[in-house]
Structure 1
Amino acid sequence: MNLNSLLNIVEATLFRRRLVVLVIFALTSIFLLFQASQIKLDAAFTKHIPLNHSYMKTYLKHQANFGGANNVLISVCDSSGDIFNPEFFTALKGVHDKLFFIPGVDRIQVKSLFSPSTRFVEIVEDGFAGGPVIPANFQPDEAGLAIVKGNIEKAGIVGSIVADDYSCSMVKTSLMEIDPNTGKKLDSIVLAEQLENEIRAEFEQGNISVHIIGFTKMVGDVANGAKGVVTFFAIAIAITTLMVFWFCRSLALTVLPISCSLIAVIWQLGMLSTLGFGLDPMSILVPFLVFAIGVSHGVQMINSVAKIVKNGKTSKEAAQLSFRLLLVPGGIALLSDTVGFMTLLSIDIGIIRELAITASLGVAMIILTNLVLLPLLISYLSIDSKTSKQTNNQPASDKVWRLMSAVATRQFAVVILAITALLYAVGLYYAQNMKIGELHAGAPSLHETSRYNQDTFLITDKYAISVDYMSVIVETTADACTYYDQMDIIDRFQWRMENIAGVQSAVSLASIAKIVNAGYNEGNPKWRVLSRNQQTLVQSIARVPSSSGLLNSDCSVMPVILFLEDHKAETINRVVDAAKQVASELENDTLAFKLASGPVGVMAATNEAVEAAQIPMMLYVYGAVIALCLLSFRSLRATIAVVLPLYVVSTLAQWLMTELNIGLTVSTLPVIALGVGIGVDYGIYILSTMSVKLRHGASVQSAYFDALKERGSAVLITGITLAIGVSTWFFSDLKFQVDMGILLTFMFLVNMIAAVLVLPAIAAFLWPQRK
């Protein structure tokens, strides 16, 4: 059975049983609308990290002993600049207790001035003396506060638990993956709301301010900002509706493609909910892209129907013929989108895989709603010739199309291709400078002026240690900390890493042991060394508990914690490369340095996963598009004409990212694939009309002129409408949405321009000249 026979069967079946098919669509829509209403925002820390990366295997292996990277840091500050007052300590104790009892908080890891594990040690005549920084009988009066201040200075926690200027104090903890109350995965958004409502709202009053950071709080703030996406979605729908109405001048022909595209979004969300997926705040923009793609194909359908009605056909005949004409090119375009999005599944990061599933499901739904449901609904309309005439006279006349068709002649094509080649060469040169990872301080998903990032900057400024730290895990034999040779290797590794640009400070069991050893010798700095005597070395590390996070129970695992100045990509790369180099020189058969835990360790693994996935992802995307174009057009020339402009635009998009200082991250990596997937639609629609004319012996210019008459207005209006829709994202509260808006606006517009200028210019040289 050939393709035409199959199309005949599908067409006859659908249109002869229109009512039955529409009832099935209606019942399905009702069911999936209910399912969509049950969908929830779903954010989990582990979805944002490449779990199979070697760094993350180390991180997960030692998470129980040393805590994870999913931390919460709460800085309680006094605006008077002095924490030693009853009001402050009452608030600090309240924050500590509240945090301790929030479900999902790892209580063992809760640390503040009020933690029993926060202790001081001082040198006395008999050796050492010490105890908890805040004694059991503490009263926040003048005498009690004076004792605590002395203990803080003896404990050496100024800069870590207490701010350098004594204006703030820290409460910090790690979070568990499972909520102990429900037994389910910890809901980061719910926990972020608890931090906001039960801690900040309750204790931030008078001179007391509360500053909260950590992955969970960041996700909560992103989720709050994502609520604004609904507003932008509504604005985009309004703009799209006006543009489509301006294009077709028919209320019915405007409402139908918009409605079918919204039905595709409902089906997408309903299917996600049915399959057990939630909607992550970082992928909440995908439904709009599905709506945009749906409108793109819907405009092609109403454009085709109106032109056929103009030739004297009835609405049903026009809808039936348009279905037949557009099912193959539209189906191939949407299949290209779907397969392109599915290539994102190759990236070993949960959030990107979920985005791939979400986008692929949505585009698959468009095949049903905009290529099947839409023509069936149109067949019930009564479209008059006046409407079709207006549709065909806008936005350009045949004179404009004739003028544009000149780019399909070789004398003009040479100029177009020369300019394209020049832009590609410049774009390729500058695209080499595109950075992998975050390029800005603070949480890159949010603007610098956001409360979260302001809290981050305050904590970074007030405390000596950075919130950006990486733990290099030292794996060795049991009781290794009692042997000088092993501890000396750790000490040398720490010293060399402390001298790497970007490392603010470092701490390990070896550095603490040196301080303790000096303490046993009247604090003389000459004795701040690792003792070669085993008994003395044991004495130096005996007072360091496993709860300090510097060793495990049998001293076979010891982290070296590196505090970095920031988490910019170049800083992380420099430190990680240095750590690998130093580790390779120092490790031996009994001692190994394993990267990496801590927030920066997670970022390093994510950056490496994104970098490793970049080229394979693009190969998969273009491989899928090339295969489907070859299958559709059965022509290598046609495939080259469609794919080459897409590749040039992808390169220019990377140049744009470099110029705008946008790094390639978990958020921006999928945009390139999405842009290619959506951009291919323009070329397929134009070339599908051209290829028919070319097979019948028309010249390239004549074939392109006919394609412009058939599809040109729809392609132009779609590209402009989609670009205007996503350009509203420039005003979002979410920085990553602004970045995506910039990139998608660029790709929508430039892919459209490439389809109407570069594609015919390439075709002028691939097909023989005919008059």
Structure 2
Amino acid sequence: MSETTVTSARAPHGGLLKRLERRLEGALFRHRAATVAVFALLTVWLGWVALGLRPDASFEKMIPTHHPAIANYLAHEDNLRGLSNVVRVVVENRKGDIFDPGFQEVLRKVNDEVFYIPGVDRAGMRSLWTPNVMWGEVTAEGFEAGPVIPDGYDGSPRALEQLRANVFRSGEVGTLVANDLRSALVLVPLMERNPETGERLDYGRFATDLEERIRARYENEAVGIRIVGFAKVIGELIDGAVPILGYFLLTLVLTAALLFWYSRCLRSTLTTLVCCLIAVVWQLGIVRLLGYGLDPYSILVPFLTFAIGISHAVQNINATANAALDGADRVEAAKRSFRSLFVAGTVALLCDAVGFATLLVIRIGVIQELAISASIGVAVIIFSKMFLLPVLMSWTGVSPAAVAHARRRRDHLPWLWQQVARCAQPRPAVVVTLAGAALLALGYWGARDLQIGDLDPGAPELRTDSRYNRDAAFLVEHYATSTDVFVVMAETPPQGCRDYQVLAGMDLLAAELERVPGVQRTVSMSDFAYRVLAGNNEGNPKWYAISRNKYALGGAFQKTPKEYIGNGCAMTPFVVYLNDHKAATLSAVMATVRDFAARHDSDKVRFTLVGGNAGIEAATNEVIRDAERTMLMLVYAIVALLLLIEFRSLRVTICIVVPLYITSVLCEAIMAWMGLGVKVATLPVIALGVGIGVDYGIYIYNRLQSCLDRGLPLAEAYLLTVATTGRAVAFTGLTLAVGVLTWIGSDIKFQADMGLLLTFMFLWNMVGALVLLPALARLLLPATRPAAATATPRHPEPHLRLADAQRS
């Protein structure tokens, strides 16, 4: 009895893409020399343009400026500079405490040196050596105050004793001075843009200035320098990106070796590498023309462009070698390669572009620029792989060794590949499908603990033992005030912050927030009002309260530090210091503030979000949480639509998309297991994995369908597919994985994490396409009995059946 045949799931191509294919084929191969000349000229020009690329990082690019809380922050940015984008420079006395004349001289020099670094908001700087840091106390004569560094300070023992007294009276121990009195810090707020020129702050240059002018000059055996802040993180990321060129060269060498091993042809290997490098040059040049630079996130896109180009070019080498094996000359073999891959390759690359473009729904600058850069990379691959590579192959062809290797692959299918081909048979198909369902359930179970945001202290973008994270740990250990600052804004009418109801509201908010796990302490104008009112009344504890007398509150207002009073007294910062910036901590604080505002907002005061580095990160987490599912649904919806257009079958679309979805769920489970949250650095991975992974299914089913259209039974058709396209797809997955696996050596942790996750997704998507796709096809696609004339003779050996299938 003859085996049933799965019917073709779509009509033969005859539409726009097919007509475009015929016209392009004629034009390309009639004008081969002109085509190569145009590509050469464009490559030289875009390569020259790409030389102008520079590192580009910005605080505003890292945050969702459309979020209402962030928009509120930007509206009050001038009042919050000292509480959001801040660098802390810690000067440590390794051989004593801060009350040492030599140490104080170093601290003064560091303070002065930082003052003159471009980008510093000099008016907001705070340290023991800035005049805005005051001490205050209640004496028999009344309330007294003055600068911490005493007038006429000369480093003498008497002056140092006065300094010691002033430090303790200032209340800065734990804030500007370490709890153990062995270090002091300079608090350095930054300006995102130069107020005179409007130019953005060059974070790379600023971080370099800190290293060259502060750490390199003043750190020695006796003095330690530690620097913490967003600008320093960006500097570390930019420095960590420098070795990227080395990883790219390593990727190039490994890919070349794998490609030669697969093809056994040096000329086609070199031709393919040249085409893919041209794609990288074009991508970088076009990015520069659009006015973008390379930030620490998009600097990895050239890796993806190169890897994607190689993965698609493998299909060209495979098709050209098989055409040569059938007796075609170089030009005809190149034409057949172009003809067989244009439609499938175009759809596959469009799906890649969709995977990248859907990241645009996440309105965070660095993610959107990554999406644009990667989409440009895919677009140029269409030109270099679809047009230039076949033309070059029409001259170089493939070597006799490559043809002989293709013949060996065609005539003999190893045992492993025979087992893969069995997935299209009824019983194995059921087993494989059930295994896929079990993996999906396992993925859902593992992903249940996946969180939004950071899950580690310090800067999770960097490795735990990095210099920056060691500096951050020192601050947490030796200072009472955390570097994770969350700011609530009390908005009032002009001059309204002196109102009793406003200060009483701050008092109530402090009481609620200090009960939230993860909150260290809160500081606001109400705290100063308590101390000043009591101080003005001889320190009597009965007066340690907020007065309803507006004149008494006016006196408290005059002695409150400037950073806790907005311009015009219409916006008063309420500062919350947190133990960490973990996702759970930030979510709890956001929820508490919103609930409090809903109950206590009035015409006199509104408590709004958000400022501080932790507050901005909390708002960013909310944007990512809301956009994540939207992005995933969008990428799957558009990929599915493209597959429906290509294959004209909902069942085929399901066969291709289901393995991708299982991989996405498993990736989320692995992220949860690795302790990675969904954030700016990791969110793009899922979209990239879906967009690129769908290529495998498209190439495999395109080949499978061509065999089914000839009347072959599904098992026979898939046997032939595995022997040709399937092996090329397996090599493609391996090549893509190698292209990103080199990232794991990066000093930048998020790059290493992305490399590991993408490696998993590329390999697992490949396995899903080779194993689960044919199993689903067996179960879902309609079957008919083949006509006697088209029935394929049966043989006991798989490779004999393969040979007969090819001859048919």
Please classify the TM superposition score into its range, dividing by the shorter chain length.
over 0.9
CA 1:672 to 1:395, structure 2 compared with 1: closer, same or farther past 3 Å? farther
Tell me how far 1:186 sits from its aligned partner: 1.2
Are 2:485 and 1:469 aligned? Answer: yes
Match of 2:314 among 299, 315, 321: 299
Tell me how far 1:146 sits from its aligned partner: 1.0
Aligned twin of 1:539: 555
Q: Deviations over 1:6-56 (max 9, x none)?
A: 322110110010000100000000001101111111111100000010111
Whole-angstrom CA distance in 2 between matches of 1:65 and 1:424: 50
Q: For residues 229-268 of structure 1, what are the structure 2 equivalents within 5 Å?
A: 229-268=244-283
Tell me how far 1:384 sits from its aligned partner: 4.2
Q: Is the 8 A contact 1:395 1:713 kept in 2?
A: no
Whole-angstrom CA distance in 2 between matches of 1:718 and 1:308: 20
Tell me how far 1:183 sits from its aligned partner: 3.9
Aligned twin of 1:737: 751
- Tell me the amino acid that sits aligned with residue 519 of structure 1: G
- Tell me the amino acid that sits aligned with residue 434 of structure 2: A
Whole-angstrom CA distance in 1 between matches of 2:503 and 2:17: 73
Match of 1:414 among 427, 430, 454: 430
Secondary structure of the structure 1 residue equivalent to 2:118: coil
Q: Is the 8 A contact 2:410 2:723 kept in 1?
A: no
Aligned twin of 1:625: 639
Whole-angstrom CA distance in 1 between matches of 2:126 and 2:16: 71
Match of 1:436 among 452, 455, 459: 452
Aligned twin of 1:710: 724
Q: Is the 8 A contact 1:200 1:210 kept in 2?
A: yes
Q: Is the 8 A contact 1:103 1:180 kept in 2?
A: no
Tell me how far 1:593 sits from its aligned partner: 0.6
Match of 1:107 among 85, 105, 122: 122
Whole-angstrom CA distance in 2 between matches of 1:496 and 1:39: 49
Aligned twin of 2:12: none
Higher relative contact order (CA 8 A, sep 6+): 2
Whole-angstrom CA distance in 1 between matches of 2:198 and 2:494: 34
Match of 2:680 among 658, 666, 678: 666
Tell me how far 1:180 sits from its aligned partner: 5.2
Aligned twin of 1:321: 336
Tell me how far 1:704 sits from its aligned partner: 1.3
Q: Is the 8 A contact 2:304 2:739 kept in 1?
A: no
Moved more, 333-342 or 381-390: 381-390
Aligned twin of 2:793: none
Tell me how far 1:4 sits from its aligned partner: 3.5
Whole-angstrom CA distance in 1 between matches of 2:158 and 2:32: 87
Aligned twin of 2:708: 694
Match of 2:468 among 425, 444, 452: 452
CA 1:707 to 1:391, structure 2 compared with 1: closer, same or farther past 3 Å? same
Whole-angstrom CA distance in 2 between matches of 1:58 and 1:612: 19
Whole-angstrom CA distance in 2 between matches of 1:392 and 1:430: 45
Whole-angstrom CA distance in 2 between matches of 1:396 and 1:628: 35
- Tell me the amino acid that sits aligned with residue 150 of structure 2: P
Q: Is the 8 A contact 1:103 1:181 kept in 2?
A: no
Whole-angstrom CA distance in 2 between matches of 1:617 and 1:509: 42
Whole-angstrom CA distance in 2 between matches of 1:191 and 1:482: 38
Tell me how far 1:209 sits from its aligned partner: 1.0
Match of 2:525 among 509, 512, 516: 509
Moved more, 731-740 or 696-705: 696-705
Tell me how far 1:697 sits from its aligned partner: 2.9
Q: Is the 8 A contact 1:347 1:609 kept in 2?
A: yes
Q: Deviations over 1:321-347 (max 9, x none)?
A: 101110110111001111221111111
Secondary structure of the structure 1 residue equivalent to 2:267: helix
Tell me how far 1:182 sits from its aligned partner: 5.2
Q: Is the 8 A contact 2:564 2:572 kept in 1?
A: yes
Aligned twin of 2:802: none
- Tell me the amino acid that sits aligned with residue 404 of structure 1: V
Match of 2:740 among 703, 714, 726: 726
Q: Is the 8 A contact 1:504 1:563 kept in 2?
A: yes
Moved more, 376-385 or 456-465: 376-385
CA 1:469 to 1:396, structure 2 compared with 1: closer, same or farther past 3 Å? farther
CA 1:501 to 1:382, structure 2 compared with 1: closer, same or farther past 3 Å? closer
Secondary structure of the structure 2 residue equivalent to 1:285: helix
Tell me how far 1:3 sits from its aligned partner: 4.2
Q: Is the 8 A contact 1:642 1:683 kept in 2?
A: yes
Q: Is the 8 A contact 1:104 1:180 kept in 2?
A: no
Whole-angstrom CA distance in 1 between matches of 2:533 and 2:211: 44
- Tell me the amino acid that sits aligned with residue 628 of structure 1: L
Whole-angstrom CA distance in 2 between matches of 1:138 and 1:232: 54
Aligned twin of 2:800: none
Q: For residues 325-474 of structure 1, what are the structure 2 equivalents within 5 Å?
A: 325-393=340-408, 397-400=412-415, 401-474=417-490
Whole-angstrom CA distance in 1 between matches of 2:609 and 2:196: 33
Are 2:113 and 1:84 aligned? Answer: no
Aligned twin of 1:500: 516
Match of 1:164 among 159, 174, 179: 179
Tell me how far 1:2 sits from its aligned partner: 5.1
Q: Deviations over 1:199-237 (max 9, x none)?
A: 111111241111111111110111111112221111111
Aligned twin of 2:792: none
Q: Is the 8 A contact 1:434 1:664 kept in 2?
A: yes
Match of 1:635 among 625, 640, 649: 649
Tell me how far 1:238 sits from its aligned partner: 1.0
Q: Is the 8 A contact 2:17 2:343 kept in 1?
A: no
Secondary structure of the structure 1 residue equivalent to 2:474: helix
Moved more, 712-721 or 174-183: 174-183
Q: Is the 8 A contact 1:247 1:391 kept in 2?
A: no
CA 1:705 to 1:394, structure 2 compared with 1: closer, same or farther past 3 Å? closer
Moved more, 6-15 or 179-188: 179-188
Q: For residues 63-212 of structure 1, what are the structure 2 equivalents within 5 Å?
A: 63-67=77-81, 69-179=84-194, 183-212=198-227
Match of 2:70 among 49, 53, 56: 56
Q: Is the 8 A contact 1:121 1:128 kept in 2?
A: yes
- TM normalised by structure 1 equals 0.97
Q: Is the 8 A contact 1:493 1:583 kept in 2?
A: no
Whole-angstrom CA distance in 1 between matches of 2:94 and 2:388: 62
Tell me how far 1:635 sits from its aligned partner: 1.8
Q: Is the 8 A contact 1:309 1:385 kept in 2?
A: no
Q: Is the 8 A contact 1:334 1:681 kept in 2?
A: yes
Aligned twin of 1:685: 699
- Tell me the amino acid that sits aligned with residue 730 of structure 1: I
Moved more, 578-587 or 85-94: 578-587
- Tell me the amino acid that sits aligned with residue 731 of structure 2: I
Secondary structure of the structure 2 residue equivalent to 1:440: coil
Whole-angstrom CA distance in 1 between matches of 2:671 and 2:454: 12
**Identical counterparts, % of pairs:** 42
Moved more, 82-91 or 522-531: 522-531
Moved more, 696-705 or 174-183: 174-183
CA 1:399 to 1:602, structure 2 compared with 1: closer, same or farther past 3 Å? same
Whole-angstrom CA distance in 2 between matches of 1:767 and 1:37: 52
Tell me how far 1:485 sits from its aligned partner: 2.5
Aligned twin of 2:51: 37
Whole-angstrom CA distance in 1 between matches of 2:683 and 2:225: 35
Secondary structure of the structure 2 residue equivalent to 1:28: helix
Whole-angstrom CA distance in 1 between matches of 2:264 and 2:175: 66
Aligned twin of 2:19: 5
Q: Is the 8 A contact 1:700 1:767 kept in 2?
A: no
Secondary structure of the structure 1 residue equivalent to 2:135: strand
Whole-angstrom CA distance in 1 between matches of 2:309 and 2:227: 41
Secondary structure of the structure 1 residue equivalent to 2:489: strand
Tell me how far 1:459 sits from its aligned partner: 1.0
Task: Return 5+ residue gaps in structure 2 as ranges.
Answer: 1-14, 787-808
Aligned twin of 1:519: 535
Whole-angstrom CA distance in 2 between matches of 1:314 and 1:72: 66
- Tell me the amino acid that sits aligned with residue 646 of structure 2: S
Structure 1 vs Structure 2 CA RMSD: 1.6
